[in-house]
Structure 1
Amino acid sequence: MDTRVLIAGAGPTGLTLAIDLARRGVDLRIVDAAAAPLTGSRGDGLQPRTLEVFDDLGVLDEVLESGMLPAPMRAYVGGRYVGERRMAEVVEPTPDVPHPNGWAVPQWRTEEVLRGRLRELGVEVERGVALLGFQQDPEGVTATLSTGEVRAAHLVGADGGRSTVRKAAGIAFVGETRETHRMLVADVAVTGLDHDFGHWFGDADDPGRGIVLMPLAGTDAYQCAVPLPDGVEPATTLAALQSVLEQCSGRSDLRMHDLTWCTVWRPNIRLARRFRQGRVFLAGDAAHVHPPTGGQGLNTGVQDAHNLGWKLADGSDELLDSYEAERLPVAASVLGLSTELLRRHVDGHPDAHRRGPETDQLHISYRGGPLAHDDRPEPGRVRAGDRAPDSPLRDAHGARVRLFDLFRGPHWTHLAFDAEPPATAPGVHAHRISSAPTGTSLVDAEGAFREVYDVSPGTHVLVRPDGHIARITR
């Protein structure tokens, strides 16, 4: 084989997968047809669960430094200030959820951080290299690239909604693309606005028509969104956007400048029939495309990659089969959520822009899946298949330790509560967690572990490399 895993597409999904494989020492290549990284803020909302994935991958600090809490929105109708609101309430961290709030980072910056981490691991994205097609057989995949043929054990299509991999595999992409409710989205600087806030200017005669400007972290620019009425072709010049801003705000002192990116968004709601076909896998937008409502698309793709990486590294059919079994139902559910939020927006529901726990992706679970085993006669609140919560502990010297510190890395983690952990295989880190100090054990000094995990003494918890619980047993 020329390589073990070939990844087509170097967006957030492909980069997350490449990082996870590279840190495991898996031989890989990641190619992208674009000659240069894409610009634009695009998917600029990171959900709490994605922040936890980035913690595991070692990029969280840089991502946090590059972003901010989603800004509060100041709303105006006919130029008159009508109030301020947040898309979601700011929530304080808890022992089990250290990052409870979404984080706003322009997508170009998220990808830049991920590429930097991948480079640290010795892998570079191969730019301007297009996947043209492939053939697979029981032993591997022969892919035709614009630079020649390559042989790989597995091929992953992370190449977006128009995925060449999905089309070449003949996998149906079921759903619809609506030409109604189109939106012009652009990155542009605006003089005269407070960059600490988002701004919505509604038309006096039709408040549903207007312009939204959300500040982009680390820049003086805003992501600008303008609805496009049916039959109206987009005018993407600064002058046209300036005209809309003046008309809706009633202000002539606001000046747009430095338009760096612009696109027309249409509701695109589709789900692949399969996420795996033999040695070929789909992830991210290649497998599911979402309306932007709820900020689920990029985040779901990152979790696809985090689920798939350790399974590809292992290579067993049982684990590879579990990728589709676990992720396809999740994608279908998240797609349903995004679509419902879009409907509420189109219908003008007064709380259409409000967000709650349903969008944070912390409650995604693989309960009942092929890898989830809970042997207790009376399972607690946290069960096999669930995300493994965080919790504070103390080491033998009294220093504070987080469970997420123990989970971080490519290994499995065995937690034994008031019990001796068994001998473990290589790649499994075992820890005894005691309710009181006992030698070298980690101590649940605040009782948080027992409460959060809802376990009793003698309980064993096995945590997968992707931070979900594989087994809970007495």
Structure 2
Amino acid sequence: MDPVIVVGAGPVGLALALALARHEVPTVVLDEGTGLCPEGPRSVVLGSDTTALLTRLGYARAASDAARWDSFAVWRRRQEVLRVDLSRTPALHLPQHRLQRGLRDALTATPLVQLAPLSRVVELEQDRDGVSVRTRNPQDGTETWWRGSHLVGCDGARSAVRKLLKIRFPGRPAVDRHAVATVRVDLPFAGEARLHREPPWRGDREASARPLPDGLWRLDWRLPPGRPAPTEPVDPHATWPGIVTGDTLLARVKATLTGWCGELPRYDLLAAADHTAQQRLAARFRSGRCFLAGDAAHLHGALGMQNLADGLRDADNLAWRLALAWHLPPHAGGTQPGGALLDGYEAERRGAVGARLRAVDQTMPLLRPLRGWQQTRRSLLSGSFRKHAPLLADGQLGSGRFGGAPAYPAAPSGVPGRVPVQRGAGRGTTLSELLPATAPGVLVPDLPVLAMDGAADQLHARLGGTFLLLLVAPGTAVWSAQHWLGAGLMPRLAEVAAALPVPAEVLVTEEYPGAAPHTVLLIRPDGHLVGTTQGCHAEGLLALADDARGGPAPLPGTPEPAA
């Protein structure tokens, strides 16, 4: 069986390759660059789900590479409007180059991933058996053909894969403009991330400071509109020297640091960039055996939203689907099984990102100051800003509708469908939080579990490999495993797990939110709940497993329709 070809060696492409390796699927990662990860101002805020994903993939340096925020504060002029305590829900903020280097280091531990630097994709062809890709070395012009079972384009906003597949990338090319700087400085609010609206020291509309490790800070300023909109997608972190260097940037840095510290502190300016936040969504995430993920599939950076975090969720969602399809034998006629299964990636991930973009469109008028006399009038209505200030925290913290882990609810037909967004629920209103923990499609909570060998672990640490059958059995933590492994539902549950059409592991927990004793939950490798049964209901669990993989397998000799 040919390997999966991943185009792009950024964090999303590397994470996808590592996730596939956990499923024993070989990959070839085509990197247009040389493999170096230069330092820069780009950074990412990781929530609990993306942090758990990176830990499972072997990125063990998250705690040392990232800064953990103790709180997040929103200010308006000289007054604090909102403070979010992060002691129980930590947000990790780390430079993107550190994340990329850590993922590259993790790749060295597996022989299933081949990195191919200096490999620019110039042509691709796909047929019923696989995908062929031609690459060109940008230094010496040599060309190479690669053959894979599937191909995933993780090659950024100007994706060559997306263009070769002729997939449209519509959207809004200039929603927000920001100047960004990485500064080494001591600020009086160590460990706190701060967003300052209408700061009193100069004409900036908005300034923010977010701690990074090693005494560094990422400073952001929202710039006024006016630069001509690009006609095609641009790198969202491209540097425009005419705007962010020289006296203009230095004056902005000095004024901001003086405003926060009372006087200008000693500082070192390490990096700077100007980036335009775009809102774009690819018309399709799948074309036959080819897929899009990360910046190649979507761009959303307004209001501090974390596009990279959603790219990691793309990789998590797609990896187990590709692995199931890759390990199944081909059907009669030469087609690869898993058409409906692989279609589920686009339905779920495109739907989730689309919901985020709609949320921004609905919220932007509430959070952006108006102009002229309307702005003056609105400035007097501080209660309005205070009411909506929690929404500003969502994008910065990777929480709520702007950044929290999504749910993938299913319609009655079993195809992921849209659920109306409940308005007025305040900050943190994701479907995973609005729906009960037993609703199909939600991200399951992290809780203590016991494996079949009696070993104690956390539920999220067991994700990323097989499906999980989780039995709610109060009292199991009290008794030694030798007393309950062969009693009650356990022997039957082990038999059912072995008979499922997907690989599955049995776990036991003392309690699960909203689930009665003896409830059995089927959980996907990416941590989203497929469904529940009361007791070890073999037929019900088999039906749930079939739904998760896109329906029951066809009869022998039945060809699958081409994608």
- TM-score normalised to the size of structure 1? 0.81
2:116 is matched by which residue type in structure 1? Answer: E
Greater shift, 147-156 or 193-202, is seen at 193-202
The equivalent position to 1:189 in structure 2, one of 176, 184, 188, is: 184
Match of 1:221 among 195, 206, 216: 216
Alpha-carbon distance change, 394 to 301 in structure 1, aligned in 2, over 3 angstroms: closer
2:355 counterpart letter in structure 1: S
More RCO (CA 8 Å, sep 6+): 1
Alpha-carbon spacing, 1:131–1:216, altered in 2? closer, same or farther (3 Å): same
Structure having the larger proportion of residues in helix: 2
Matched, 1:280 2:295: no
Distance change >3 Å, CA 396–CA 333, structure 1 → 2 = closer
Partner residue in 1 for 2:127: 137
The counterpart of 1:157, out of the listed 148, 153, 158, is 153
- Tell me, yes or no, if the aligned pair for 2:66 and 2:92 is still in contact at 8 Å: yes
2:281 maps to 271
Corresponding residue number in structure 1 for 2:315: 305
Contact kept? 1:238, 1:259, Cα under 8 Å: no
**What residue number does 1:438 align with?**
none
Alpha-carbon distance in structure 1 between the residues aligned to 2:360 and 2:436: 30
- Aligned partner of residue 61 in structure 2, secondary structure: helix
Quick one: structure 1 residues 126 and 343, their matched pair in 2 at CA, closer, same or farther if it must change by over 3 Å? farther
Question: Match for 1:259 among 244, 266, 270?
Answer: 270
CA contact (8 A) 1:291 1:338 kept: no
Match of 1:105 in 2: 94
Amino acid at match of 1:90: L
Alignment equivalent of 1:431, drawn from 506, 514, 530: 506
1:245 to 253, 257, 261: 253
Question: Which residue of structure 2 lines up, in the alignment, with residue 353 of structure 1?
Answer: 392
Counterpart of 2:527?
467
Amino acid paired to 2:46:
L
Q: Secondary structure at the match of 2:322?
A: helix
Given that 1:389 and 1:453 are in contact with CA atoms closer than 8 Å, whether structure 2 keeps it comes out as: no
For 2:465, the equivalent position in structure 1 comes to: 410
Question: Structure 2: how far apart are the matches of 1:304 and 1:75?
Answer: 30
Give 5+ residue unaligned stretches, structure 1.
93-99, 373-378, 434-442
Contact in 1 for aligned 2:204/2:223 (Cα 8 Å): no
**Counterpart for residue 136 of structure 2:** 146
Which residue pairs with 1:436 in the alignment? Answer: none
Q: Does 2:109 correspond to 1:120?
A: yes
Contact 1:290-1:339 within 8 A present in 2 as well: no
* Aligned counterpart, 1:437: none
What whole-Å deviation, never above 9, does each CA across 1:8-34 have from its counterpart, x for those lacking one? Answer: 112221111100112222121112223
RMSD: 3.3
Contact 2:133 2:147 in 1 (8 A): yes
Structure-1 separation of matches of 2:145 and 2:362: 43
TM-aligned CA distance change 1:37 to 1:344, over 3 Å:
farther
Check 1:305–1:343 CA distance in 2 against 1; reply closer, same or farther (3 A cut).
Answer: farther
Q: CA deviation at 1:270?
A: 0.7
Please give the per-residue CA displacement for 1:208-231, whole angstroms capped at 9, x wherever unaligned.
5354332212x3332122333344
| AA matched with 2:110 | L
Range 279-288 or range 352-361, more displaced: 352-361
User: AA paired with 2:94?
Assistant: V
Residue matched to 2:481:
none
Letter in 2 for 1:133: E
Q: Check if 1:90 corresponds to 2:90.
A: no
The one-letter amino acid paired with 1:37 is C
5+ residue gaps in structure 2? 138-143, 228-239, 326-337, 371-384, 417-434, 474-488, 535-563
Partner in structure 1 of residue 303 of structure 2: 293
Q: Contact 2:184–2:215 (CA<8 Å) still a contact in 1?
A: yes
Structure 2: distance between partners of 1:207 and 1:76: 16
Match of 2:479 in 1: none
Answering whether residue 173 of structure 2 is matched by residue 177 of structure 1, we say yes
Counterparts in 2 of 1:135 and 1:247: CA distance versus 1, 3 Å: same
Q: Is the 8 A contact 1:10 1:159 kept in 2?
A: yes
Call closer, same or farther: CA 1:203–1:328 in 2, change over 3 Å.
Answer: closer
1:65 aligns with 2:64: yes
